[in-house]
């Protein structure tokens, strides 16, 4: 794993943007695997600014997102489909028809997971952006998820519900279940770009880079990926 340590969030976002821009410049029809959360917001702002100022086009780009809360769809401002439109897609010339995410309101969750897995098979990510949970989760793959798992529905852990509650009015409002790509779908990406900032991620980042490869810390599987870059700020890197 390549590790790039930056002084702060701003520099982390700039480095991440450089990597993203290279992917899109090399292949204007790239498949981008995208993530939600506060970590990639700086990267998305830089993609939007670059599109505005330099005209970098996303017309042919296709995207696949990692995860979505069960029970939420674009009508909810807490859904990840809403998050992506607000924070990235509406600032680019991307065709929304080319953007993909699990349907949180699907009637048959098993069928929805099968649909998403089939889609990912024909849309291998040229790059997959990831954040990391404070317990070492990637997407919504909580500790204990089998490395072989593909898209599935998960019961979120208390720690994730608590972490994510800051974005909801009340902790009771955080959905208890979510759709997520599995570690296997993530590992299938040609390139991984994982971002982390802040001291509350330091333990997870240590496990990601230097810990034992174990399903107890889902991100540790990335040590086995042939092209994985971690960009993190000094606070997140403090235990390395
Ligand atoms: C959520 C998302 C993850 C994200 C993580 C960290 O649980 N499902 O994809 O990486 O939170 O979020 P943040 O970037 O806000 O710290």
pTM for the whole thing? 0.96
Ligand 1 in reach of 98 Cβ (< 6 A) = no
240 residues of the chain, pLDDT tens digit each: 999 999 999 999 999 999 999 999 999 999 999 999 999 999 999 999 999 999 999 999 999 999 999 999 999 999 999 999 999 999 999 999 999 999 999 999 999 999 999 999 999 999 999 999 999 999 999 999 999 999 999 999 998 899 889 889 899 999 999 999 999 999 999 999 999 999 999 999 999 999 999 999 999 999 999 999 999 999 999 999
* Domains of the chain in sequence order: 7-211 (3.40.50.1360)
- Read off the pLDDT of residues 109-120 as tens digits, 9 standing for 90 and up: 999 999 999 999
**Ligand 1: which of 130, 133, 142 to mutate, most ligand atoms within 8 Å of CB?**
133
Q: What's the CA-to-centroid distance between 186 and ligand 1, angstroms?
A: 15
Q: How many CB atoms lie within 10 A of CB 111?
A: 11
Rounded to the nearest angstrom, the distance between the alpha carbon of 36 and the centre of ligand 1 is 6
Check residue 232 and give its pLDDT. 98
Residue-wise pLDDT for 148-161, tens only, equals 999 999 999 998 89
Active site residues: 67, 135, 137, 142
């Amino acid at each position: 794993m390549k590790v790039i340590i930056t002084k702060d969030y701003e520099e982390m976002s700039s480095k991440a943007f450089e990597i993203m821009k290279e992917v899109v410049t090399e292949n204007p029809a790239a498949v981008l695997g995208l993530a939600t959360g506060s970590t990639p917001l700086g990267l998305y702002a830089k993609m939007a600014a670059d599109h505005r100022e330099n005209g970098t086009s996303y017309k042919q780009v296709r995207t696949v997102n990692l995860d979505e809360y069960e029970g939420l769809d674009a009508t909810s401002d807490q859904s990840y489909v809403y998050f992506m439109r607000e924070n990235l897609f509406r600032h680019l010339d991307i065709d929304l028809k080319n953007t993909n995410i699990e349907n949180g309101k699907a009637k048959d969750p098993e069928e929805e997971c099968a649909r998403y897995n089939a889609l990912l098979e024909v849309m291998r990510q040229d790059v997959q952006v990831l954040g990391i949970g404070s317990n070492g989760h990637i997407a919504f793959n909580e500790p204990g998820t089998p490395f072989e798992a593909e898209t599935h529905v998960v019961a979120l852990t208390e720690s994730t519900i608590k972490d994510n509650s800051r974005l909801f009015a009340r902790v009771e409002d955080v959905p208890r279940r979510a759709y997520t790509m599995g570690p296997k779908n993530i590992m299938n990406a040609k390139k991984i770009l994982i971002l982390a900032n802040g001291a509350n991620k330091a333990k997870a980042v240590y496990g990601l880079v230097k810990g034992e490869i174990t399903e107890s810390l889902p991100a540790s599987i990335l040590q086995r990926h042939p092209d994985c870059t971690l960009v993190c700020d000094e606070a997140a890197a403090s235990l390395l």
